[in-house]
Amino acid sequence: MNMNWNRREFLQKASAATLSALAAGAPVSGLLSGCTGTRKPGQTAGTADTVILLWMAGGMAHTETFDPKKYTPFSKGMEGNRVLSTFKSVPTILDGVHFSQGLESIGKVMDRGTLIRSYVAADMGHILHSRHQYHWHTSYEPPQTVAAPHIGSWIAKELGPKNSVIPAFIDIGQRFTLGEGEELKAFHTAGFLGNEYGPFLISDPSQGLESVRPPVGMDARRFERRNQLYNDLISDSPVGAFGSDYQKESLKRSMEQAYILLNSPEAKAFDLSTEPKESYDIYNTGRFGLGCLMARRLTEKGARFISVTTEYEPFKGWDTHENGHTRLEEMKKMIDGPVAQLIKDLDKTGHLDRTLVILASEFSRDMMVEGRPGEKVQEQVQQPDILSELKFYGMHRHFTDGCSLLMFGGGIKKGFVYGKTADERPCKTIENPVRIEAIHQTIYHALGIAPDTHYEIEKRPFYMTPDGVARPVMELLT
């Protein structure tokens, strides 16, 4: 199989997979019946009810964040191979565990969570953000013959909403009007599970209330007519023409759920203007920080799965192709206070006990190594051996052999560190490697979802993780 897919080929395959998912008809349950929100045969008692995914889109360098190595300050003419970390390390609340400078607030709450320092991402021929993000969020390497559901969609399908009014899967912070927008859409989907299990999208949390009310100038009666027109249009849409009855009904139910939310008191949870100023100001570091605030408010109202992203936009954010050091100074200011405050707020109200919070990225970064040591992948960054300018000081290449994740609450061990990377370049995983399917199964186990859950698609079983053979990392759980 040709694994050297370029961006255009990936998009074409993803689009074809979506049509294939429509043609597949209703998924036939392999082990579990329809979503009722109750435990089914094969499920164990879970330790979590809600998941919050804090997504560091673009490639968060482990040696610059939660796994710092030897610090080397910038000097003109220095050798790039000498640089392992461009920030000093600072102590956390855990004895002997250090983070990179700028993450002091998160370091102070690590007694309430687990640090994984040995996540290993796939190379898949060469590095492409949209493919790696697809892989992380679905557990499947693209392309697939059917559209693989997002992890949030699996959870929404198997457990249903905690609160029948609040959408079971909410995605905050990602716009699709940017570069690679179509590729990003490919995994922001419920795939063959149907539209009702797809994400309720909020691109800007400061305008979250706009997502749950009619446009300005549209009264309730006009909105009801618009809703009826929408249902009529479904019959004339591609879904109506080519989709199964299951897909058509799923699309209608997704609209009905949004209509119910519009008229409910719970809609106020999306209105951040009602948050006390002292709390609002702590979270207000930008759209990501406010997304964390909205995630906390929605958790309190009974959301099931919430994703908050720093947003993937090529060559911005964590996608540090140049000016890596100076860029990360700003990224840390964006996430440090809000993430720490989210954990403290959930803990204070008792919600952290049953809420699993994950902070992750598609892969890491390094100054000199592209991909994984020993496996040749396409070079995508021109990084000089001698650093003549500050813009070259930082982690600009994509690195897949050692990444950091944080996990809090929902049955995860407190004050625990798992895995290890080498202290010298290449700073790769040397103890307890963890791959995405094991992370997904750990999340499902915490939620009480059976590890071999699957549906029959195109006359073959489609599991939540490839082939249904992955197992949770039990060492992470209490």
One-letter identity of residue 214:
P
For residue 172, what are the contacts with CB-CB under 8 A and spacing of at least 6? Answer: 202, 205, 208, 291, 294, 295, 306, 307, 308, 309
pLDDT at 264: 80
Facing residues of 477 across strands? 412
pLDDT at 6: 53
Q: Could you give the 3-state DSSP secondary structure of residue 232?
A: helix
49-208+270-448 maps to which CATH number?
Answer: 3.40.720.10
* C-beta of residue 18 within 8 angstroms of C-beta of residue 147: yes
Cα 187 to the center of its chain, rounded Å = 11
Helical spans, DSSP H, in 104-216: 104-107, 129-138, 151-159, 181-185
- How far lies 427's CA from each of 196, 359, 394, 420, in Å? 42, 20, 15, 9
CA dihedral 372, 373, 376, 377 (to 10 degrees): 30
pLDDT at 458: 80
Cα 38 to the center of its chain, rounded Å = 25
Please provide residue 172's backbone torsions phi and psi, each rounded to the nearest 5 degrees.
-120, 125
Q: Which residues of the chain are modeled with pLDDT < 50?
A: 1-3, 10-11, 13-25, 29-39, 230, 234, 239
- The interaxial angle of helices 220-236 and 245-262, nearest 10 deg, is 170
Return the structure tokens found at 34: 């329809």
One-letter identity of residue 134:
Y
The residue behind tokens 């969609």 is: 153
d(CA 143, CA 6): 11
* C-beta of residue 443 within 8 angstroms of C-beta of residue 307: no
β-pairing, 98-100 vs 397-399, is: unpaired
Helical spans, DSSP H, in 267-404: 277-283, 287-300, 324-349
- The interaxial angle of helices 436-447 and 151-159, nearest 10 deg, is 20
Spell out the domain ranges in the chain: 49-208+270-448
pLDDT at 331: 98
* C-beta of residue 271 within 8 angstroms of C-beta of residue 205: no
Q: pTM above the 0.85 mark?
A: yes
Return the structure tokens found at 19: 């049509």
